[in-house]
Structure 1
Amino acid sequence: MSGPLDRIMVGSAPDSWGVWFPEDPRQVPWERFLDEVAEAGYSWIELGPYGYLPTDPARLADEVDRRGLRVSAGTVFAGLHRGPSVWEATWAQVSQVAALTREMGARHLVVIPSFWRDDRTAEPLEPPELTGEQWAHLTKGMERLGHEVKEAYGLDLVVHPHADTHIDTEDHVERFLDSTDGELVNLCLDTGHYAYCGGDSVELIENYGERIGYLHLKQVDPEVLAGVVRDRLPFGPAVRRKVMCEPPSGVPELEPVLVAAQRLGVELFAIVEQDMYPCEPDEPLPIAVRTRKFLRSCGA
């Protein structure tokens, strides 16, 4: 153990309970998620897909407060590489999530770029590589979104590199960071997605520390990942193969990531997100309890 990681605020998210959609009969009811995430020893949560948790701020505040929980962030998808024509629809969606996020006292909005292939069928929706013009749309669009979200809602925008999106590999992540203003937009580094796409989280934190605004903690099973790459699986089917696994059995090692983050000298959320959609209802809680215990053993 490396000593107390007192700048790291650990939490979990609906994702670790197999929740990907606002409504889905295969997902645990939201009340059960809130009960169990508190029981597992977490004090911070994310909102998850908008509409999964109650969207009435007073009701949600009551439900969260009485379980001793607090909200760290909201999440939204955006396809800003498509240019100015998608701005209004994007802003309408973002505003809804940002308003609830602010009402919950959170300070971060996590933005995931839209997928380039269908998550269920693997059908390509767009090319995996952006043109120069699309990169310009993406970077300028995210900067504008960061500015507007800060102005209207007082939230910090953190962009989440994600498998099967245009911000995924080390090259794409570095290009995005090099092309954007850290005053307007920073990164939500998801250790699992970055490893899934071949990146080194510790290296990224050491090289771009001032741009790391938020962390998602997850691990990849290297053996399953090798099969995913071989079979060219999209992310959804890869998750069903259990490519994302319970710590500490996968990669990257989380303690060095947390130590590197602690060294940045700023407070950072580190939200556990073990992608496991769909899953048996009784599966998440024991994993969450063990994961929280493991993170405590790392000093977090």
Structure 2
Amino acid sequence: MTDSIPDDADIVVRSDAGLRIGTAPDSWGVWFPDDPKQVPWQRFLDEVVEAGYTWIELGPYGYLPTDPHQLEDELGSRGLRLSGGTVFTGFHKSDDEWQRAWDQAVKVAGLASQLGAEHIVVIPDLWRSDATSEVLEARTLSDEQWAKLAAGHDRLGKALLEEYGVRQQFHSHADSHVGTTREVLRFLDETDPRYTNLCLDTGHFAYYGGDNLKLIEERPDRIGYLHLKQVDTSLLFDVLKNDVPFAEAVSQGIMIEPPHGVPDLGPIIEAVAAIDPDIFAIVEQDMYGCDVDTPFPIASRTRQHIFSCTHFARQH
């Protein structure tokens, strides 16, 4: 039994093997709920279908319809399904950050879970603003801040699981306090795998020199979700040398269309599929600020590349 893939008659994908491949509003340049420069949400959904994807993420809360019945109708009419939503946190700052995180979780997890999603990707606050590039705080955390960070995420993960039946997947990020290999490993060591695991973003982990395959091999039980993207190594070391803010690096094309960057996606998909074939692998190529006509052909080619470089990818 195979899934049919438009325009790729020579590619056969077993429907019972491999990871479910999806995409996200981020791959269409969407970072904010409402921005006149972004692709309108109806066009995003239509182009996702045309590009051949079935699974999507919610994106920034408020970009897609927030009424569960309307969103269910919009997705259902296009044959789309929801893999998860996104929440932003800053638990290292103070105990007051709990309420901010939970207020988001109530909205995001409340909506996503009603549409069958089982994951919430949680992104930590950046030490440098992705909107203004202003330096907001120190780049590294004290031991006390690490303890607050870990405790906050375990509390959030436990509450998400108990209240909504969804699992927290922590997303390390460029210009955040958890980005390098040592920082990611420390985060995993200080959190509880029952409530906090990793959304391994292949591009963000590679941004600071992380070896994705080595991390998967060493911590297989902590990989709960994937974001697939590649970094342009011809640009990366200039970005790091010149301390270019992440948002500016994105506008320069630091996250590049596969297969033109690193890491190779096929081996990563295969390694994670061996852990659990029900893990999602969501294409998330940071493209904020791009022209609205740019994302669709890239999304189409990226999907074709993924399905051509491994047999451990599936549509449904």
TM-score (norm 1): 0.97
Residue 274 of structure 1, aligned match among 285, 298, 303: 285
- The DSSP-based 3-state class of the residue aligned with 2:153 is helix
- The DSSP-based 3-state class of the residue aligned with 2:17 is coil
Residue 18 of structure 2, aligned match among 7, 32, 43: 7
Superposed, which structure 2 residues align to 1:122-141 within 5 Å?
122-141=133-152
Query: Which residue of 1 is the match for residue 298 of structure 2?
Result: 287
Cα offset for 1:143?
Answer: 0.2
Quick check: 5-14 or 193-202, which moved more?
Answer: 5-14
- Looking at structure 1, the residues matched to 32 and 129 of structure 2 have their Cα atoms a distance apart, in angstroms, of 15
Residue 208 of structure 1, aligned match among 207, 219, 230: 219
Superposed, which structure 2 residues align to 1:1-300 within 5 Å?
6-297=17-308, 298-299=310-311, 300=313
Q: Percent identity?
A: 55
- Looking at structure 1, the residues matched to 285 and 168 of structure 2 have their Cα atoms a distance apart, in angstroms, of 22
Cα offset for 1:266?
Answer: 4.0
Amino acid paired to 2:133: A
Cα offset for 1:158?
Answer: 0.5
How many residue pairs end up in the alignment? 300
Kindly indicate whether the alpha-carbon contact (under 8 Å) linking 1:83 and 1:141 is maintained by their aligned counterparts in 2: no
RMSD, aligned CA: 1.5
- Looking at structure 1, the residues matched to 146 and 210 of structure 2 have their Cα atoms a distance apart, in angstroms, of 20
- The DSSP-based 3-state class of the residue aligned with 2:96 is helix
- Looking at structure 2, the residues matched to 285 and 121 of structure 1 have their Cα atoms a distance apart, in angstroms, of 27
Quick check: 92-101 or 30-39, which moved more?
Answer: 92-101
- The DSSP-based 3-state class of the residue aligned with 2:280 is strand
- Looking at structure 2, the residues matched to 88 and 128 of structure 1 have their Cα atoms a distance apart, in angstroms, of 24
- Looking at structure 2, the residues matched to 20 and 100 of structure 1 have their Cα atoms a distance apart, in angstroms, of 19
- The DSSP-based 3-state class of the residue aligned with 1:270 is strand
Query: Which residue of 1 is the match for residue 6 of structure 2?
Result: none
Q: Could you list the per-position Cα deviations for residues 171-223 of structure 1 after superposition, in whole angstroms to 9, with x for gaps in the alignment?
A: 00000001111011100000000001110111111100000000000000001
Kindly indicate whether the alpha-carbon contact (under 8 Å) linking 1:71 and 1:106 is maintained by their aligned counterparts in 2: yes
Kindly indicate whether the alpha-carbon contact (under 8 Å) linking 1:83 and 1:138 is maintained by their aligned counterparts in 2: no
TM-score (norm 2): 0.92
Cα offset for 1:114?
Answer: 0.4
Kindly indicate whether the alpha-carbon contact (under 8 Å) linking 1:239 and 1:277 is maintained by their aligned counterparts in 2: yes
Amino acid paired to 2:46: D
Q: Could you list the per-position Cα deviations for residues 4-29 of structure 1 after superposition, in whole angstroms to 9, with x for gaps in the alignment?
A: 68230000000000100000011010
- The DSSP-based 3-state class of the residue aligned with 1:188 is strand
4+ runs of 1 displaced by more than 3 Å?
A: none
- The DSSP-based 3-state class of the residue aligned with 2:60 is coil
Cα offset for 1:119?
Answer: 1.8
Q: Gaps (5+ residues) in structure 2?
A: 1-10
Amino acid paired to 1:50: Y
- Looking at structure 2, the residues matched to 89 and 260 of structure 1 have their Cα atoms a distance apart, in angstroms, of 36
- The DSSP-based 3-state class of the residue aligned with 2:117 is coil
Q: Could you list the per-position Cα deviations for residues 114-166 of structure 1 after superposition, in whole angstroms to 9, with x for gaps in the alignment?
A: 01112244321110100000000000100000000111111000000010111
